[in-house]
Amino acid sequence: RVEKRGYHEKVIDHYENPRNVGNMPKTDHDVGTGLVGAPACGDVMKLQIRVDDNGVISDVKFKTFGCGSAIASSSYMTERVKGMTLDQAGQVKNTEIAKELCLPPVKLHCSLLAEDAIKSAIKDYQTKREKRLAMAAAQA
């Protein structure tokens, strides 16, 4: 418990009660999956978004195999981007997460993992969508 004392309460809350932990079927056409790793420590984060017809994120889930700050960062990120458009979600910066969770400098890369993960999920969703549209156009 001693090592936790330096952390801000919000980190501990997101660490002890992470929001939106789980999985969504990767194959669903409206799900984008981001999977990223931190070279510095080997931690891995998976973040998934479900996007509605208006391009708004309706659901978010994550699984993080990593340190407490990475788990707290992904938990924070899932709450932050729910209800956002893809454009808005792509603009959430790791510096915001680090500030909100009061992460110390050595833990900055943990929040960067969350930024990378949402960007990667958005890209995956967009790639899938383009493929789907191209296929529909080819069939028309």
Residue 67 C-beta: closest distance to ligand FES, Å: 3
Q: How far apart are CA 62 and CA 33, in angstroms?
A: 9
Residues in 7-66 that interact with ligand FES by CB under 6 A: 38, 40-41, 43, 66
Give strand pairing partners of 32: 49
Residue (24 or 67) nearer to ligand FES, CB:
67
- The verdict on 109 binding ligand FES (CB under 6 A) reads yes
In this structure, which long-range contacts are made by residues 15-20, counting pairs with CB atoms below 8 Å and at least 24 apart in sequence? 15/68, 15/69, 15/71, 15/72, 15/75, 18/62, 18/71, 18/72, 18/74, 18/75, 19/75, 19/78, 19/79, 20/60, 20/61, 20/62, 20/75, 20/78, 20/79, 20/82
Residue (78 or 86) nearer to ligand FES, CB:
78
Which listed residue (31, 57, 92, 110) is catalytic? 110
Q: Is 41 a catalytic residue?
A: yes
Residue 11 C-beta: closest distance to ligand FES, Å: 11
- The verdict on 69 binding ligand FES (CB under 6 A) reads yes
Burial (CB < 10 A; 0-12, 13-18, 19+), residue 131, is: exposed
Residue 16 C-beta: closest distance to ligand FES, Å: 16
Query: Which of 51, 57, 70, 117 touches ligand FES by CB under 6 A?
Result: 70
Q: Name the residues annotated as catalytic.
A: 41, 110
Residues that bind ligand FES (CB under 6 A): 38, 40-41, 43, 66-67, 69-70, 107, 109-110, 113
